[in-house]
Amino acid sequence: MSLHKMLSWALVALWMALIFSLSHQPASQSSEMSSGITEAILSAVEKAVPDLEGNMDSAEHIVRKNAHFIIYLILGALTVNALRTSGTRRNRRTVFAIGICVLYAMSDEFHQLYVPGRSGELRDVLIDSFGAAAGVLLYMFAEKALNRNTEKAFKAKEIEN
């Protein structure tokens, strides 16, 4: 196994471990972290838009749900990259990457059923799944754009010679 392939899968595993550790926090600890992040965001927004009044509860809910989406967006991109380095064909890696991420989201919510004060939410699995799909699609679009630019540069160089 090549070093690049091993590193790609190691990043997937490390990101999954991060998700697991965040999910394993009891509700009080998770809420405290979310509140701190939300307060920092609201403070920055208030500086940029002083007349805007923010509701802490609704802002915290939005921050938590966006965190789900973004964390799984990153997992989706890391997973499709690992599948690419493993030689999986383009169409299959899209389906496999999303499938792996959806299964992990389901297992993560199941895990939360056993964490004090936490619950497993179907809504969170859906948000995680959409985030993973967005990460996979962004990766695939970026890969296609990079390939197109590389081909153009190669053709331009051929014309010069």
Q: Report the pLDDT value the prediction gives residue 154, as an integer from 0 to 100.
A: 63
Residues whose CB falls within 8 Å of the CB of residue 70, separated by 6 or more in sequence, listed in order: 131
8 A C-beta contact, residue 109 and residue 123: no
Q: Per-residue confidence of the chain (161 residues) as pLDDT tens digits?
A: 789 999 999 999 999 999 999 999 887 777 777 677 767 776 776 777 776 666 656 777 787 888 889 999 999 999 999 999 999 998 899 999 999 999 999 999 999 999 888 888 999 999 999 999 999 999 999 998 888 777 766 666 667 66
pLDDT of 64-106, one tens digit each?
888 889 999 999 999 999 999 999 998 899 999 999 999 999 9
User: What burial class does residue 104 get, using C-beta atoms within 10 Å of its C-beta: 0-12 exposed, 13-18 middle, 19+ buried?
Assistant: buried
Q: Report the pLDDT value the prediction gives residue 53, as an integer from 0 to 100.
A: 66
Q: Report the pLDDT value the prediction gives residue 147, as an integer from 0 to 100.
A: 81
What pTM value is reported for the model?
Answer: 0.82
Cα–Cα distance, 61 to 67 (Å, whole number) = 10
- The two tokens of residue 25 are 């926090």
Q: Report the pLDDT value the prediction gives residue 158, as an integer from 0 to 100.
A: 67
What are the domain boundaries of the chain? Answer: 3-160
- The two tokens of residue 99 are 């499938």
Of residues 71, 72, 69, 64, the one with CA closest to residue 119: 64
